[in-house]
Structure 1
Amino acid sequence: MEEYYWDSKIDYLSSTRGLYYNDDYIEFLVKAVWKINTPVHLIDFGCGTGYLGLKLLPLLPKGSMYTGVDAGIKLINRAKEIFKDLPYKTEFIVSDIQNIHLERKYDIAICHAFLLHMPNPTEVLKKMIDCVVDNGRIICFEPHWISNMANYHINGHDQSSLIQLGLLQKLFETDASREGKDGNIGIKIPVYLSQLGIKNIECRVSDKVNFLDPNSELENTSNLFNSLSEDGFGAVPSEHETFIRKLVDRGANHEEARKQYENELLLSKIFKNNIFLTYAPNMKITFGNVDRS
């Protein structure tokens, strides 16, 4: 039986999530924006190892419960291990989101960097909505890749020498039209939710800005450098002809593909833990209320 892809990415998931949020901003959302002041039952679609549960449960009223659903057996086992000695009420379900049937009993349905991997994200959103009680809430933490790519700065280098934003936007859009999986979905979710009947929709942007500072403590610099590396930033590109062929197959012309190879090769050479780098992921956080009246 073929291994579930994300079961092999536990280390990646564990080491990269800190790039996207400041804890105080999540606390601000829970207490000042969502104003959650009574116990709630959350369900997390594509929960992985329970990252959102770890972030949210300490901030929620006592008595709240977290249910995580994921198709990865290893992911769910790791989540159970992480939560087993924590003072929270949790349950974890191994299931393919595409096939699962859920009762309408949850106060909040959430997901994190999940819908971008779905070929039918609006159908998944419908499932999220259907399992939420009347006047419950949907919350989606999802990326907008092109804004991510526009928000890197490496001191001493023009961004255009490292990143072709126009080409990347074209590739992202082409991939989405071919496969349905959309790395830019974060900025589109407000529209999708409105079309599905959700009310009081808002979209926020995470305030996290990562700063790789060679003048800071070595441990901090090393941790951030390792997280960025694990996230794929500065990776050495594949063999030249293979790289070119794959980009051309995705819709780039030969000159665009050649330039992208040069960009990525240069970035892989200069990306060291002794450079100044700032990176703002701009994760989009969209939420609204289920109103069936």
Structure 2
Amino acid sequence: MSDYYWDDQMEYLRNTRWLYYNDDYLEFLVQRVWKIENPVDLIDYGCGYGYLGLKLLPLLPEGSTYTGLDKGKELIKQAREIFSKTSYQTTFIVDDIETVKVKRQYDVAISHAFLLHMTEPITVLQKMIESVVDEGRMICFEPHWIANMSNYELHGLDQSNIIQLGILQKLFEEDSKRNGKDGNIGMKLPILLSQLGLRNVECRVSDKVNFLDQNMAGSDKQKLFQALKEEGLGQKPNARQEVVTPLVERGLHSDEANRQYEAEDVFAREFNESSWLTYAPNMKITSGIVTR
């Protein structure tokens, strides 16, 4: 077992990334929004097994290259194996993104659900910018957790019984103050990139709404339900005190922590394969042009 957490999360990553985007929307972004018409050299910070490369390379002009950078040795091993079966020109680097030195040679730098795990995301953004040539582009696919948490509809329930938005917002903010990791960074990135000197900064939102439809084919329903569970929807909480004590340590009052436990418990009891549910991950996709 690897010492690096994400090295042991390969199955989770492969089973849940498809919940975020429709392929035609990514094609629209590449061709109509970012207007990438010539081959580009692309670097992916926190690439994992190369998810974004697999999604974007078929949409980019022929001759584009992909470099994946990640700390996870097992993830990079998987990425190399996956891309060895393709014709794309790829390079994979195992290194600590917070300390690695990257040459200024890329046309596009990207991240996907990566910056939220960084204790100093602005420092990492600066490193990403420094790896991009003049007039190159930065693209960050990052979450805004509180928007994500508001994008559920579990049929037959008041959503306030399963999602305590005010409590969660406070919890996310307290976590960010304590350790620098910000699950709401997606909504802050347009501001941060502009302040770091990028121009033509704009932000989009992911398009996919997952619908657990009781009239869909059984195999499709089972696949979607399992992916949603792996994504964390309706996970059964541990014993009350095992949940409440850490929440208090993270900044909640005891009554808030207990309300959060009760909401998680209701969600876990009510959500099953026979449920009607809609869920939109609501990823924020921020892009800007690097100028010096």
TM-score normalised by structure 1 residue count:
0.98
Instruction: Give the aligned partner of residue 247 of structure 1.
Output: 247
Partner of 1:208: 208
User: Measured at CA, do residues 146 and 274 of structure 1 come closer, stay the same or move farther in structure 2, by a change above 3 Å?
Assistant: same
More displaced stretch, 214-223 vs 181-190: 214-223
Which AA in structure 1 matches 2:74? K
Distance change (3 Å), C-alpha of 1:100 and 1:271: same
- The residue number in structure 2 matching 1:24 is 24
| 2:102 aligned with 1:108 | no
- CA deviation digits over 1:231-256, x for unaligned, max 9? 11111111111211111111111111
The residue number in structure 2 matching 1:144 is 144
1:166-177 equivalences under 5 Å are: 166-177=166-177
Kindly provide the amino acid, as one letter, of the partner of residue 129 in structure 2: I
- Which 10-residue stretch deviates more, 226-235 or 141-150? 226-235
Q: Distance in 2 between matches of 1:210 and 1:2?
A: 32
Greater displacement, 39-48 / 212-221: 212-221
Q: Offset of 1:16 from its aligned partner?
A: 0.7
SS of the aligned residue for 1:74 comes to helix
Map 1:24-43 → 2, pairs under 5 A: 24-43=24-43
Instruction: Give the Cα–Cα distance (whole angstroms) in 2 for the partners of residues 81 and 186 of structure 1.
Output: 31
Q: Deviations over 1:67-113 (max 9, x none)?
A: 00000000000001111010100010000101110110000000000
1:258, distance to aligned residue in structure 2 (A): 1.3
Offset, 1:2: 6.0
SS at match of 1:225: helix
Distance 1:188 1:259 in 2: 28
Q: Which residue of 1 aligns with 2:269?
A: 269
1:62 and 1:160 map into 2 onto residues whose CA distance is 48
The residue identity in structure 1 corresponding to 2:236 is V
Q: What amino acid does structure 1 have at the position aligned with 2:228?
A: L
Runs (5+) with no aligned partner, structure 2: none
Helix, strand or coil: the match of 1:169?
helix
- For residues 245 and 193 of structure 1, the distance between their equivalents in structure 2, rounded to whole angstroms, comes to 37
Alignment RMSD (CA, Å): 0.9
Gaps of 5+ in 1: none
- Determine if the alignment matches structure 1 residue 46 to structure 2 residue 46: yes
CA distance in 1, matches of 2:42, 2:88: 12
C-alpha deviations, 1:184-218, integer Å up to 9, x for none? 00000011101110000000001110000111001
Match of 2:77 in 1: 77
Superposed displacement of residue 24, structure 1: 0.4
Aligned to 1:218: 218
Q: Percent identity?
A: 60
- The count of aligned residue pairs is 292
CA distance in 1, matches of 2:2, 2:39: 40
Query: 1: distance between equivalents of 2:290 and 2:255?
Result: 48
What is the letter of the counterpart of residue 4 of structure 1?
A: Y
Query: 2:128 maps to what in 1?
Result: 128
Where 1:211 maps in the other structure, the secondary structure is strand
Could you tell me which amino acid in structure 2 is paired with residue 166 of structure 1?
G
SS at match of 2:12: helix
Indicate yes or no: 2:248 matched with 1:229.
no
How is 1:152-167 mapped onto 2 (pairs within 5 angstroms)? 152-167=152-167
C-alpha contact (below 8 Å) 2:2/2:8 kept by paired residues: no
CA contact (8 A) 2:7 2:72 kept: yes
Compute the TM-score of the two structures, normalised by the length of structure 2.
Answer: 0.99
Superposed CA deviations along residues 115-161 of structure 1, whole A, max 9, x for unmatched, are: 00000000000000001000000000000000000000000000011
SS in structure 2 opposite 1:285?
strand
User: Any idea what SS the aligned residue of 1:201 has?
Assistant: strand
Query: 4+ residue runs of structure 1 moved beyond 6 angstroms?
Result: none
Structure 2: how far apart are the matches of 1:194 and 1:34?
Answer: 17
Q: Does 1:6 align with 2:6?
A: yes
Distance in 2 separating the partners of 1:2 and 1:50: 19
